[in-house]
Amino acid sequence: MDVSLWRNLSQPAGSCSILNLNYTQLPNLTATTEVAQLIPCTNFEFSSADGSARSLIEEFGLVCSRERFVSVVEMCFLAGAAVGSVSSGWISDRFGRKHTLMIFALVQIISGTLLAYSVDLAMFMSLRVVAGFASMTVNVVSFVLVVELVSGKWRTITGILNILPVPISYILMACIAYFERDWRNLQLIISLPWLAALSIWYCMPESPRWLLAQGRLNELYSLVERAAALNKRILPPNYRKTLEAAAPPPNNGPIESQQQKQTIPAFLATPEGGGANHVGMIIPNTTESAIPTTHDNPLKVVFNRFYWRTTCLNLIVWLTLIIVYYGLTLHLSNLGGDIYLNTIVAGAIEAISVCVSIFVVLRVGLRRSLIAYMLVPGIFCLATNLLPTRDDNQTAVIIMAIIAKCVIGANNAIIPSYTAMQYPTVVRNFGVGMGSLAAGVALILVPYMWLLESVDPLLPMSIMGVCGIIGAIGLFLMKDIEH
């Protein structure tokens, strides 16, 4: 029997139900279908263009009544990322950037490899939570480590370039997925390259700012002297005394109700634009003002009277930014067209926009760049809903969505640097982690946001447009820390 005729006879109401018939009596089907009862399908057969594709949806039957688990699977990874965004800050502030980064890179290798051998959906979702936790931890800690190794304009440049591998990975992933259609093999391909990261564990430097904040001066001296020799710089003769004066006092006994604070003399603090040969580049640029020590509760610090407004606005900005960025990134397929081509084009344009954003930021400043990069995607998302819903407008919708994604991608590269600049060293990672917490909440919401298309097809893009505008307002209300 022809496949199309078989479908018409057995599934008149769609692919999720079947007529309750005795299908051994094929010649009599046409005479009995009108009175037969519809029952849910219990088994499914999938087809693909090349016949070799094997997807997670196919293997675990995530269709019809189980289709809701597709969003749950995405949410598992993003829920792990949300927890990792906050806990990673405390872990690396407590145990150091270097070892936290490498340990969780190892966790990511193990969990990613085990994912490829998942025997059921429950095992897959559990491992996705672990992978999400490790992935976000690596992301947050690696950023803080690179920006604490440099100073001045290089902190902005390295902070932005730290996100450049993300759009490049989109391009590589689309190319790999185009040729490798088996999800298990694809999972192994993207997990094993992390072994290369572990090879630099021994030679990777610890953050000098973290070592200073922890009072580990001998390790700091060794690192500074090694860096000076490598860069052929001459250290000042009194650089050790300078660092000793900036180090926090030891924790001798319980902390008083008025917690002990460290004060850095003005002559030790080097402006952000200070030269690379100044030891002061390691010392926070705080003059004669009380700054928190390693003994303070980081949660109390980021919500104290100096930082609570900044923290609240940061939460709003990160939440809205990630809703727009990942709302467009994770659902390019919803916009129509070829998903592989769309991803490659979007990744290439976003990589260029990240590089261009460095020159824009250095010229016009972080704050104004962030506001513009937040406002433009919001306007473009809203503008896509103004186009008539016709097939000949699909290309215009895809172009506008890709432009919005690439511009917000540049913002995604800039916002960690801007956030890190607002907190002192001892809670910097925690402060960035708080922003990542809001990002994690947004990541959990994004898979369900696109389900609102069943209510109104224009609703998801409208939500992202409004979020872009709210984020721009939040950035406008933040203090101009650059001046």
Q: 71 with 106, same domain?
A: yes
Predicted confidence (pLDDT) per residue in 85-128, tens digit? 778 877 888 888 888 999 999 999 999 999 999 998 899 999 99
Query: Do residues 180 and 225 share a domain?
Result: no
CB 85 within 8 A of CB 439: yes
Would you say residue 256 lies in a domain?
no
Claim to verify: residue 181 and residue 109 sit in the same structural domain? yes
Both 166 and 82 in one domain: the answer is yes
- Residues 279-294: tens digit of each pLDDT: 444 544 444 344 555 5
280 inside domain:
yes
CATH of the domain at 448: 1.20.1250.20
At 425, which helix (H) or strand (E)?
A: helix 425-449
Residue with token string 């052929």: 232
81 and 97 share a domain?
Answer: yes
- Residues 6 or more apart whose Cβ sits within 8 Å of residue 187: 112, 113, 115, 116
Residue 51 has pLDDT above 80, yes or no: no
**pTM recorded for the entire structure:** 0.72
Domain identity same for 140 and 38 = no
| 32 plus 101 within the same structural domain | no
Number of domains present in the structure of the chain: 3
The answer as to whether 414 is a domain residue is yes
What's the mean pLDDT in 207-224?
Answer: 86
Least confident of 193-202, 248-257, 360-369: 248-257
Structural domain contains residue 255? no
Annotate 270-322 with three-state secondary structure. CCCCCCCCCHHHHCCCCCCCCECCCCCCHHHHHCCCCCHHHHHHHHHHHHHHH
**Identity of the highest mean pLDDT range in 92-106, 140-154, 340-354:** 92-106
Question: Band of the pLDDT at 217, cuts 50, 70, 90?
Answer: confident
Residue 217 and residue 102 share a domain: no
Alpha-carbon span 407 to 294, nearest angstrom = 37
Structural element, H or E, at residue 24: none
Judge whether 482 lies within some domain.
no
Rg of the chain (C-alpha set): 27
Tell me the one-letter amino acid at 163. I
The string over 72-101, giving b where at least 16 C-beta atoms fall within 10 Å of a residue's C-beta and e elsewhere, is bbbbbbbbbbbbbbbbbbbbbbeebbbebb
- Examine residue 408 and state whether it is found in any structural domain, yes or no: yes
Q: Are residues 184 and 323 in the same domain?
A: yes
Q: Which domain holds residue 341?
A: 64-204+301-477
The answer to whether residue 104 sits within a structural domain is yes
Both 333 and 434 in one domain: the answer is yes
3-state secondary structure of 460: helix
> Is 446 among the domain residues?
yes
* Residues 133 and 38 placed together within one structural domain of the fold: no
234 and 325 both lie in a single domain: no
Instruction: Tell me: pLDDT of 329 over 70.
Output: yes
Instruction: Flag the least confident range among 37-46, 145-154, 353-362.
Output: 37-46
